[in-house]
Amino acid sequence: MSRLLTGIVLIAVIFLSACSGSHHASSSKGYLKSSAPQNNPNANNAYTPANAAPTIDKSQYIPFSRELQMKLSAYNVDVKRVQFYIDQKLVLTRNLDSAKAEVKSGTISFTNGKLINEIIIPAYTPGVVESADMNGIRVSFENGNSFLFVPAEDEDKFVVAGNNWDNGTVEVVYDKGIYRASSGSSNISVADVRLVVKLTDVNKSDKKTRTLPGRKLGL
C-alpha cells in the first residue's frame, strides 16, 4: 500500500513539474514576441514590387512627323540609329484553327468559344527601324516582325498602315498571318497610336561638335 502511495506521489510531482516548466516556457516565448518589432501595415501597403513598371515621363517624347524625318535627313542622320516607340498600346488578335494552330509569339486563349492568338505591344515599347523612305517607315518591336507606319493626312504624325478599317481597328500582316490590331481600349482608335521618339535623341542630332586640334609652329 505504501509503495502505491509513493508511486502516486512521484507521478503527481512529475506532472506538476512539467506544468510549471511549460508555463515558464510559454511566458518566455510571449516576452520575446512582445519585445520584437512589429510590422507597419502602412509600410506593407506602400510596398512596390521590384519588377513594377517604371514611371514614364511622356513629356520626353515627341511625334515622329514628316517634318522631323526631313530634318534628320538634312543632317544626314540615319533613322536606323534612332530609337523609336509607340505612344499607345497595340493589341493584335486572330482566330486560330485548332487543327492547324501555330503560334510563334503571343498567348492563346478561348474567347466566346474561339481559340484566339493575342500579341500585346505595351505603350512606349522600344522599336528599331528596318527600312524607311518617303512613303513610310517600317519599325520592328521583335526579331522577324515589323509594322509599316505611314504619314497621316495632316503629316504631323506616322500611324499604323493596314486594311479593312472597322470601328477603330485595322487588319495588319504580322508573324505571317492576318491580325486585327486594336488599341485595347474602346475609346482609342488604332489611328491614334503614334510613332514617337525621345526629345533627347532629336536634340543630339541637332548638335554637331568638332574639336580643333590646334596648330603648332613649324620648325
191-200 pLDDT, tens digit each? 999 999 998 7
Residue-level pLDDT at 30? 33
Locate 90 and state its grid cell: 497595340
Q: Average pLDDT, stretch 42-59?
A: 56
Query: Distances in Å between the alpha carbon of 215 and those of 7, 125, 163, 210, 211?
Result: 113, 48, 62, 15, 13
Q: Average pLDDT, stretch 204-219?
A: 61
Residue 82 burial (CB count, 10 A): 19
Residue-level pLDDT at 29? 35
Residue-level pLDDT at 210? 62
- Which amino acid type is present at position 160? V
In this prediction the pTM is: 0.62
- Which amino acid type is present at position 45? N
What mean pLDDT is reported for the chain? 73
Q: Which residue has the higher pLDDT, 143 or 25?
A: 143
Domain ranges, ordered by start, for the chain: 58-205
Q: Average pLDDT, stretch 31-47?
A: 41
Give me the percent of the chain exceeding a pLDDT of 90: 36
Q: Poorest-confidence range of 36-45, 84-93, 145-154, 175-184? A: 36-45
Supply the angle between the helices 66-74 and 199-206 in degrees, to the nearest 10: 30
The DSSP secondary-structure symbol of 35 reads H
Residue 169 pLDDT > 50: yes
- Measured CA to CA, the distance from residue 150 to residue 193 in angstroms comes to 12
Q: Which residue has the higher pLDDT, 125 or 75?
A: 125
Q: Give per-residue pLDDT as tens, 81-104.
A: 899 999 999 999 887 765 444 545
Residue 182 pLDDT > 70: yes
Contact 138, 130 (CB under 8 A): yes
Residue 156 pLDDT > 70: yes
Q: Which residue has the higher pLDDT, 80 or 8?
A: 80
Residue-level pLDDT at 194? 92
What confidence tier does 114 reach under pLDDT thresholds 50, 70, 90?
low
- DSSP string covering 6-29: HHHHHHHHHHHHHHHHHHHHHHHH
